[in-house]
Every structure is written in structure tokens, then in C-alpha cells.
Structure 1
Amino acid sequence: MKNKSLKYSTLRYLVIAILGIIAIWAASFYLLIIEEVYDNIDDGLKDSRIRILHEIESDSEILQTVDYGIAQFKITPLPIGNYSKKIHIYNSKMYMAYDNDDEPVRILQTIFKNQNQNYQLEIYTSTVEEDEFIENLLIALSALYIALVGSIILINHFILKKAWSPFYIILNNLKSYKIGTKKGFEKTNSEIIEFDELEAELSAMIDRNEKIYEQQKQFIANASHELQTPLAIAGNKLELLIEEKDITENQAHKIGEINEMLNRLKRLNKSLLTLSKIENNQFQHKENLNFNELIKQSLFELEMMTEFKKINVTIKENGIFQFEMNADLAGILINNLLKNAIVHNEQNGFLNVFISPEKISIQNPGENPLNSQFIFERFYKDEQNENSTGLGLAIVKSIVKIYPELSINYRFDSRHYFELEKK
């Protein structure tokens, strides 16, 4: 399900809530108004009853009003018997000449006695047409609902947008924040307590992460630097040991294996030290570089590896890829990309390099795609290779991060593609 924005969600819930509230309010308002109208009509009918009964005492001719007329009442004689004097009021319909149709009326019915004769008095009066009243009420409520929703949209767009502006500033700060940049968290100067607390907690969390990150970088740099000397000494001693005359072939083989492990540790240590220097921004000097020449130089240095695997190397130049950056970093970047394509190549494979002014594409054979989500992570190795440290592509990514105008991408289409592009 597609996620909705805070603004849209707030508006949706407000509109639904107001629709429910207006529906309940409309029903309550309708019942209240109808009750009030009937109450006023009933009071008028009761007053008319009192007046008619009073007039009958002085004018007995009124007792002859057996049909509804101008006076809007009629009197019907009743047989002898016991009758309740309780007033009964109800709704009915009666023909109205002005509408030429039956219209709703309210009728009061009561029994009274005059000279030992019981009479039924019925008084009517016109009342509201409920159908028309409901229709008019619905029209009025619809207009009110549209006006309220329109007002809410405007309020949500202007007032709520202003109220939530500190939140969006904080969100944008988080989006642009990258650990290790030492970029301060921009203050929003919000007048809302919750946003101030959120900002304070995020700032504290970022400060903690920055400190831990710096400690980790410092540890890697120190550890890598300190490991250089003992690794070099151990390697020298192994070389001296293997030159001894009295060692057996088996011992020489084992010393060779140990020496290979030491060489791998040296490569790993060198990679970690390079990463540390990159992240500590120790490569400041920039110059305009010709990457075509860098690629050719790097392939020349890696020629022994390509010849050992009998890899067919092809360079196709459709222009010169030039970019201003540190020369050492550019050399490491190109060397790691080419070395990755060689190390993970196959015997009698191929290595194709396509160069244009905007892109460098390095291609090598492969049967299955690599995990593009983790390919540039440290120590990630899709295939176990004793010559791989799992840091080559991580170093590539770290270098590219320094230069926002560059991007490195991986894709698979019957072969592996690593593409360095200008944005």
C-alpha cells in the first residue's frame, strides 16, 4: 500500500470526522427543530381550544359547526356515555385548496360537555412539510459541509503547514545528514515543545554516533599502522627461515602457506589504512586527470595477473574521460575496479573497458548477478577468493562519496558491468 503524506492523512481524518459529526449533528438538529415546532403548534392548538370552549358558553350557535371551515375546527355531538376528557394531538393530512393537494396538519382532539351533552372538538392547523424540511436541511448541511471542508483544506495548507514546518526542516536535515561529515544539525528555533524535544534527542543521538564513528576510524587507523611493523618483521623472518639449508620440503611448504597468509594480512592492513586515510580526508590536492591514461597504466601494472589467467583485455575509447580529483585516489579507484574484474574473472576470460567523456564501463564475464545491495559494503564477498580482502569495492565507494559529481553503479546483463559516471 502506498504511503500517504502527513498533510494528506491529517486532511483525510479531519474530513471523515467532520462528516460523521455533521451527520450526528444534523439528525439531532432535525429532531430538536421538529420537536420545537410541534411544541409551539400544540401550544397554539391548546390556546384555540380554551378560546373556543369559552366562546361556546356565550354563544351556543358555535355547537352547530359540524364541518371544518374558516374557523378551522368542527364540533361533533356524541352519544350518551363516559368519555375521557384527555387531550389527544396527532398528525394527519387534509386537502388544501391553495396547493390542490393533501398537506400535513396537526389536529387537536378533545371531549367536552355542554348541558349534559358530550361533544368532540377537533381543531386543526397547518404544520411543516417534513419532506421539504428534510430536503432543505440536507441542502443547507451539504453547503455547510462543503464550506467546512474547503476551510479545513485552506487551514491545513496554510496554518498546519506553518505549524509543521519545523518537522519538515528536521526531516530534511536527517535526509541530508551523512555520518562522518561532522555537519552540524541545523536548529529550527521552533516554538513547539515536542519538536524541540525531538530535535534535541536527534542532535544528541547524532553526536553519539559521530563520536563512536570517529573512535572506530581512529582505532582502525592506529591498528593498521601498528600492524605494519610486526607483519613486516614476521615476513622477513619467514624469508630467512626458508633459506635455511636443513629444513625439509614439508616445512618449506608450511612456511610458504604461512607467508601467503601474512601477505594477505598485509593487503588487508593496507586496504584498511587506505580507507582510514580516505575517510579522514587526507587526500586534499586535486588536479585535472586523464582517466584514459590512468586505465592504460593500471592495466600495464596488472599485466602479470591478466596473463596468468589468459584474460583477453580490450579498451575502446570514444573520447577522453577527464575529471578533477586527487591523483592518488584516482589511481586507487581505477586500480581497484580493474583488479576486481581480473580477480573475479575466469580462465581464458575477457575484460572490456569502454571509455567515453561521461562514462567508464568495465565488463567481465559472469553467470549470476551479484547482490547490488551489498556489493560495495566492507568485507562483502559474493565468492570466496583467497586473493580478495572484501575491501576493494568498499574503497571505490568511499572515494566516489568524496566527489558528489561522480557515481559508481553495478548491473548484470549476461556479464558484470561496473560503470563510473559523471552526474
Structure 2
Amino acid sequence: MKLLTRTTLIFLFYASVVAGAGTFVYYSLINKLYYAYVDRTLSRRKLRVEKAMRLYLHSPADLAYWHQLDHNVEFVPLRHLPPRRADRLSVRPMYNELTGKSQPYRQLASAVTFQGRPYELQIRLSLFDTQQLLLRIVLAGGVLFGLLVLGLFGLQFALNRRLWQPFYALLDQLHKYKLNRSQPVTLPETRIREFQELQDAVQLLLRQNQRVYRRQKEFTENAAHEIQTPLAILHTQLDLLVQAPGLTEEQATHIEGIMSVTHRLTHLTKSLLLLAQLDSKLFFATEIVDVAAVVRTQVAHLREQIAVRNLTVETDIADSVPLCVHRGLLEVLVSNLLVNAIRHNLPGGRLRILVTTEVLVVENTGRPESLQEAGLFNRFQKSTDSPAESVGLGLALVLQICTNCGLPLRYSYQEPGIHRQQVLLQ
């Protein structure tokens, strides 16, 4: 989830809670204020009724006549006056003859005396229209509050998108950045100090990475030249020495051992240099390569090794499997997978090769246990039964190439003693 989306959701949640709680508090406050207003109105009317009782009413019939004129004023006879004559306020449902429905009324009840007789004066005020008015007021307030929240939310979203534009521009440039290309990474003009500091930090980091990259690239190129050239000369001199006249059998045996070590050292050097290039994320130009054709070529190159170990080869290779990849890396990948399956196979075992548009599979018979926990793809990881010429970098190179090319690599073990390497091509 993006940072802007997360902060927006937090603001939205906070605004929703405040809106809900605010609407409830607003309704409660308006309701309380209105009831206080109604109660003051009833108290003033009570004073006017008491004044009228003293000045204009002369008999109980006048009280009944007043109630007929105004149903909201009623005199209820009492047997005796209550000990406490404080006014009582309550909400009372009553039938309304005009609407034909029961409606809530706010009622003030007070004990009074008229011509020496106790009465309970009941003054009422309808709350029906009042409640609808309150709901409309609260609804209007809620709508205004909601519009305010939505407006603030939209304004915050628009401002954030505009203020964060330099960050997204920098992020887009970093996505397109290639270490092997000295392309500048700059932020648009901004007066925000944090983004300016971010730009300075990114520029410093990229300069340091460029410097390290150039030094490592120079070292790799120098190592490739300075190490491989002496090895090639040594190998040539040994070939000449083998062909020299008068060479004894014992001398030939020693020279053959030296040549074997030289060949192993040459292979080790090439593998280490390729690993260094892959680790440095050097740029490898890609092209459309036929995986099926590469596999067929590599199998043909390894026919002699397959025959020496008397292996049964089963192939199921599609006619054409195009893939956008660096040809040299793909050849190393296929070669190392096949060589590993041949070296660690059982004498007279089986080698199965499957190539489809979706996957490259290499299966071989081997020791009856899974190798997943044995550091299968670690560098210089060699089993006890590995041949002497193995340098322990084959599968490490395979994993690094797959990672560099974005091709998932899977290992699985199946009974009895079937080891499978899978490279997903899509």
C-alpha cells in the first residue's frame, strides 16, 4: 500500500469517527437547548395562567371552559395538595384530534389552589413538529459537516499529489536507472527541504556506487586478461613439452597432471569472473534465442561424457522455444545443468531432458536422498562423491544466471533417487 493511500485512509477513518460522534453530540446539544427553551416557555405560560386565575376566573366552570378553548391547559382536581409543590416536567404522549394520532407533548404539572380547592395545573406543548425540526437541523448540520470533511479530504489528496510529485519523479528515474550508464538523476525544482535532502543523498549514493562499479569492472577486466593469458601460455608450453622428443613415461605422467590442474584452474577462473560480473549486475545485451536449439547443441557437445558414463538419454525437446535472453548466459546455464546432471549421475543411469515453451527440465538419477538441505546452490559446495575436476561453482552459476535473467529455478527430489532441476521460461 502506498504511503499516500495509507495516510489518506487514516485521515478518512478519523474524519468518519469525528463525523459520527460529532453528529450525535450535535443532536444531543440541540435537543437539550430546545428542551430548555420549551421548559422556559411553559414556565412563563404557567405564570400567565396563575395571573388569569386570580384576575379573570370566578368558578370551576371557568376552568373547564378554558380547557375547552385550549386543550393544552387543563385543571385536574386533587383531594389535597401534595407536600412538595415543585413543578414537574415530563414528556407525555397524547391523542391529537386534528391529526388523529398519538403525539409526544412536553408537560409542566404544578399544584395550585383555586377558591380554596386544590388542582393540578397541566400545561402542554406539542413536540411533534419540534422533533421533525430537530432532525432536519441535525441532518443539515451533518450534511454540512460531511461536505466539510469531504472537501478537506479532497484538498488534502490534491495537495499531497502535488507536493509529492518530486518524490514520484525521482522514483521513476531510479526505476529506469542503469548502473552501467552514467545518466544523471535529478529532481524537479522544489522548495521542500526534505525532498532536496533526499536528492542530495541519492546523488551521493549513486556517485559512490558508480565509483565502486567502475573499480570492480576494471578489476574484472584486468583479472580476465592478467590471469587467463598466463594460463593460456602455460597450457601451450605444456602441449609443446608433451610433443618434445625423448619424453619419458614418468615425465609424461607429471605433465598430464599439471595440464589437468591447469585446465581446472582455467575453468575456475572463467567461472569466478562470470560470477563477479553477475554479482555486479553488469549489463548483458539480450536477443531472441532459441532455447531448444541451444539445448540440442549442448547435448551434442557432451555426447562423449554421456557415453563414458554409459547413460541413457531421454529427450523431449520442442521444435522452437524463443526467449529474450543473453545467448552466452543461456549457453552457460544449459551447459552447467547438463554437466552437473552427468557428473552426479549413476554409472548406467538415466538423463532426461524436457524443453517446452514454459519450462526447461533436467532430471538425473543419483543418490537416494534430497539435496535441498545440503546447500545445493552454495558456491564451492561439493559432495563427497563429486569428481576431482568439479570446482563446485556449476549450480551457483546456474542460480545467479537465473536470478539475473529473471528465470525462476526450482529443485525437487522424487523417489527413487530422481533429482530434478526446473527453469521456468515464463
TM-score (norm 1): 0.65
**CA distance change for structure 1 residues 82 and 420 in 2, over 3 Å: closer, same or farther?**
closer
1:43 to 40, 45, 69: 40
Q: How does 1:158-177 map to 2 (within 5 A)?
A: none
**CA distance change for structure 1 residues 253 and 135 in 2, over 3 Å: closer, same or farther?**
farther
Q: Deviations over 1:376-420 (max 9, x none)?
A: x67264746453334335555666788x7x957445475424558
Q: Say if 2:415 is the partner of 1:416.
A: no
**Secondary structure, counterpart of 1:379 in structure 2:** coil
Alignment check: 8 A CA contact 2:81 2:111 kept:
no
Q: CA deviation at 1:16?
A: 3.4
Q: Look up the match of 1:387.
A: 389
Q: CA deviation at 1:306?
A: 3.0
Q: Distance in 1 between matches of 2:167 and 2:161?
A: 10
**CA distance change for structure 1 residues 265 and 378 in 2, over 3 Å: closer, same or farther?**
farther
Alignment check: 8 A CA contact 1:320 1:355 kept:
no
Q: CA deviation at 1:169?
A: 5.2
Q: Look up the match of 1:27.
A: 24
Instruction: Tell me the amino acid that sits aligned with residue 308 of structure 1.
Output: V
Q: CA deviation at 1:342?
A: 2.4
Q: Look up the match of 1:73.
A: 73
Q: Say if 2:341 is the partner of 1:341.
A: yes
Q: Distance in 1 between matches of 2:289 and 2:133?
A: 84
Q: Look up the match of 2:244.
A: none
Q: Distance in 2 between matches of 1:287 and 1:388?
A: 31
Q: How does 1:286-305 map to 2 (within 5 A)?
A: 298-299=298-299, 301-305=301-305
Q: Deviations over 1:240-265 (max 9, x none)?
A: 9xxxxxxxx9xx99999998767644
- The alignment covers a number of residue pairs equal to 403
Alignment check: 8 A CA contact 1:91 1:104 kept:
yes
Q: CA deviation at 1:108?
A: 2.9
**Secondary structure, counterpart of 2:69 in structure 1:** coil
**CA distance change for structure 1 residues 24 and 295 in 2, over 3 Å: closer, same or farther?**
closer
Structure 1 window deviating more from structure 2 (393-402 vs 195-204): it is: 393-402
Q: CA deviation at 1:269?
A: 1.9
Q: Distance in 1 between matches of 2:315 and 2:192?
A: 61
Q: Look up the match of 2:97.
A: 97
**CA distance change for structure 1 residues 40 and 378 in 2, over 3 Å: closer, same or farther?**
same
Q: CA deviation at 1:346?
A: 2.8
Q: Distance in 2 between matches of 1:98 and 1:382?
A: 101
Name the % identity. Answer: 24
**Secondary structure, counterpart of 2:68 in structure 1:** coil
Q: Deviations over 1:144-176 (max 9, x none)?
A: 898789879977887766665655555555566
**CA distance change for structure 1 residues 300 and 109 in 2, over 3 Å: closer, same or farther?**
closer
Q: Distance in 2 between matches of 1:146 and 1:355?
A: 62
Q: CA deviation at 1:95?
A: 3.2
Q: Distance in 2 between matches of 1:411 and 1:357?
A: 19
Alignment check: 8 A CA contact 2:402 2:409 kept:
no
Q: CA deviation at 1:31?
A: 1.5
Q: Deviations over 1:334-393 (max 9, x none)?
A: 543432332333322334445679976544335566659x87x67264746453334335
Q: CA deviation at 1:44?
A: 2.0
Q: How does 1:258-337 map to 2 (within 5 A)?
A: 264-275=264-275, 298-299=298-299, 301-313=301-313, 318-319=318-319, 332-337=332-337
**Secondary structure, counterpart of 2:379 in structure 1:** coil
Alignment check: 8 A CA contact 1:365 1:415 kept:
yes
Q: Distance in 1 between matches of 2:77 and 2:204?
A: 94
**Secondary structure, counterpart of 1:348 in structure 2:** coil
Instruction: Tell me the amino acid that sits aligned with residue 39 of structure 1.
Output: A
Q: CA deviation at 1:36?
A: 1.9
**CA distance change for structure 1 residues 258 and 77 in 2, over 3 Å: closer, same or farther?**
same
Alignment check: 8 A CA contact 2:359 2:422 kept:
no
Q: CA deviation at 1:272?
A: 2.2
Q: Distance in 1 between matches of 2:358 and 2:101?
A: 86
Instruction: Tell me the amino acid that sits aligned with residue 17 of structure 1.
Output: Y
The Cα RMSD (Å) is 5.6
